[in-house]
A and B are shown apart, each in its own frame.
Chain A
């Protein structure tokens, strides 16, 4: 999850689970200084929230029930979803029986507390894990818009090759992955075939592949070195690449062999954007 998060709860005026989703969002925002998005205002005046989306803000979407109004509104407005929570499912998991009232009774307050703790715990874990390896989440994105599609490119700290793979360097180690363009072109990614840990890889060598219903994409390494880690979370959840290819959807980590040499054939965001633009105009459907 990105450091900057906004919360989009459901309207919460039909079922008690909806009222809880609203309360969770308000409490989280008050405690952690996150932005709140009003679901109906998002529909009535979407321009009010355009800046958030443009700044690459990610959203925690909180749905009360299976109707999932908040998720529908997020999809209609092309919001980047970092986490989706359905309160009726959380109530079931926690063994909490919600009442009929829209006012928060004891059971609702308990569920609210549990979900709040869960989200805060996840954010803390995410921050710790990102700090431990020294790979920071992108602070700002350049956005290329084509029709209803928006392609994000981290503005600083990332390099790209023309095969739409990125690399982020921390000391002698690098993290690699695929760009937003790849994940959007493939659509729902279903399989991840990782490279072998310990294998040596050349710049532009293959480092695993990802597959959707549309195609298989071979990940082309932007750097040379030795694979020291792969993102094992992708085994069970390859959709993390769709959710955020620059953070939770990273592919592998490489102990660098010659980054100074590799860098000659890499592009920064400013150089990659025109190439991306051309591809989007020519190939993207």
Chain B
């Protein structure tokens, strides 16, 4: 098994055109690029849905956290279909239920309220990954 294959995949939905989708994408970028760059990586969902052999082989059996903007759950469904082990299924829309009335922003620009939720979800995802990695070591 290569070093890379032990990384946890953090995979957001495309989120094209929706603020909640942008929240999910920003969470993934914060986790993968800023908080846990050695322990995580992301995967472009379009590779999985277009049947890219390499992407599908890499995801098979790997621990994945999916982030979906809407109830269609494209990320969770497609990762599961590709054989990824979804250890946490984050629904951005659920996170906003505890922030009732707050405006996340637009599909291109989040408001400070939107960024607050990004930061909260980032902490939540980081905690899940640390827990997962601790379990893998022990």
Q: Give me the interface of A with B, judged by CB distance under 8 Å.
A: 9-14, 18, 22-23, 25-27, 29-30, 36-41, 43-45, 67, 69-70, 72-73, 101-103
| 8 closest cross-chain pairs (CB), A and B | A11-B46, A14-B44, A69-B46, A36-B17, A38-B16, A13-B44, A43-B49, A40-B14
Stretch from B71-79, B83-91, B96-104, B119-127 that touches the partner: B71-79
Asked if A38 and B14 sit within 8 Å, CB to CB, the answer is yes
Q: What residues of B have a CB within 8 angstroms of the CB of A11 in the complex?
A: 14, 16, 44-46
What is the bound-complex CA distance between A9 and B46, given in angstroms? 11
Q: How far is the CB of B104 from chain A (nearest CB, A)?
A: 15
Asked if A14 and B49 sit within 8 Å, CB to CB, the answer is no
Do A44 and B74 form a contact, CB below 8 Å, given A36-B16, A38-B17?
yes
What is the bound-complex CA distance between A73 and B43, given in angstroms? 18
Asked if B44 and A12 sit within 8 Å, CB to CB, the answer is yes
Asked if A27 and B108 sit within 8 Å, CB to CB, the answer is yes
Q: What residues of B have a CB within 8 angstroms of the CB of A22 in the complex?
A: 16
Do A9 and B47 form a contact, CB below 8 Å, given A40-B78, A102-B29, A103-B33?
no
Do A44 and B47 form a contact, CB below 8 Å, given A38-B17, A101-B33?
no
Q: What residues of B have a CB within 8 angstroms of the CB of A43 in the complex?
A: 49-50, 78
Do A39 and B33 form a contact, CB below 8 Å, given A13-B43, A30-B108?
no
Asked if B74 and A40 sit within 8 Å, CB to CB, the answer is yes
Asked if A73 and B50 sit within 8 Å, CB to CB, the answer is yes
Asked if A45 and B72 sit within 8 Å, CB to CB, the answer is yes
Q: How far is the CB of B35 from chain A (nearest CB, A)?
A: 14
Size band of the interface chain B makes with A: 20 to 34
Identify which of B16, B33, B78 gathers the most chain A CB atoms within 10 Å of its CB. B16
Asked if A67 and B47 sit within 8 Å, CB to CB, the answer is yes
Q: Choose one: A25, A27, A69, A103; the contact of B16 (CB below 8 Å).
A: A25
Q: Give me the interface of B with A, judged by CB distance under 8 Å.
A: 12-17, 21, 25, 28-29, 33, 42-47, 49-50, 52, 72, 74-75, 77-78, 106-108
Q: What residues of A have a CB within 8 angstroms of the CB of B43 in the complex?
A: 13-14
Please, which residue of chain A has its CB at the minimum distance from the CB of B12? A13
Q: Choose one: B17, B50, B77, B78; the contact of A26 (CB below 8 Å).
A: B17
What is the bound-complex CA distance between A72 and B44, given in angstroms? 15
Asked if A44 and B52 sit within 8 Å, CB to CB, the answer is no
Please, which residue of chain A has its CB at the minimum distance from the CB of B17? A36
Please, which residue of chain A has its CB at the minimum distance from the CB of B43? A13
Q: How far is the CB of B72 from chain A (nearest CB, A)?
A: 6
What is the bound-complex CA distance between A209 and B20, given in angstroms? 52
Q: What residues of A have a CB within 8 angstroms of the CB of B45 in the complex?
A: 11, 13, 40
Q: What residues of B have a CB within 8 angstroms of the CB of A27 in the complex?
A: 108
Q: How far is the CB of B67 from chain A (nearest CB, A)?
A: 11
Q: What residues of B have a CB within 8 angstroms of the CB of A25 in the complex?
A: 16
Q: What residues of A have a CB within 8 angstroms of the CB of B107 in the complex?
A: 26, 30, 36
Q: What residues of A have a CB within 8 angstroms of the CB of B106 in the complex?
A: 30
Q: What residues of B have a CB within 8 angstroms of the CB of A29 in the complex?
A: 17
Q: How far is the CB of A233 from chain B (nearest CB, A)?
A: 32
Do A10 and B74 form a contact, CB below 8 Å, given A67-B52, A103-B29?
no
Q: What residues of A have a CB within 8 angstroms of the CB of B47 in the complex?
A: 14, 67, 69
Identify which of A39, A41, A45, A70 gathers the most chain B CB atoms within 10 Å of its CB. A41
Q: Choose one: A18, A30, A36, A69; the contact of B50 (CB below 8 Å).
A: A69
Asked if B12 and A41 sit within 8 Å, CB to CB, the answer is no
What is the bound-complex CA distance between A79 and B47, given in angstroms? 19
Q: How far is the CB of B71 from chain A (nearest CB, A)?
A: 11
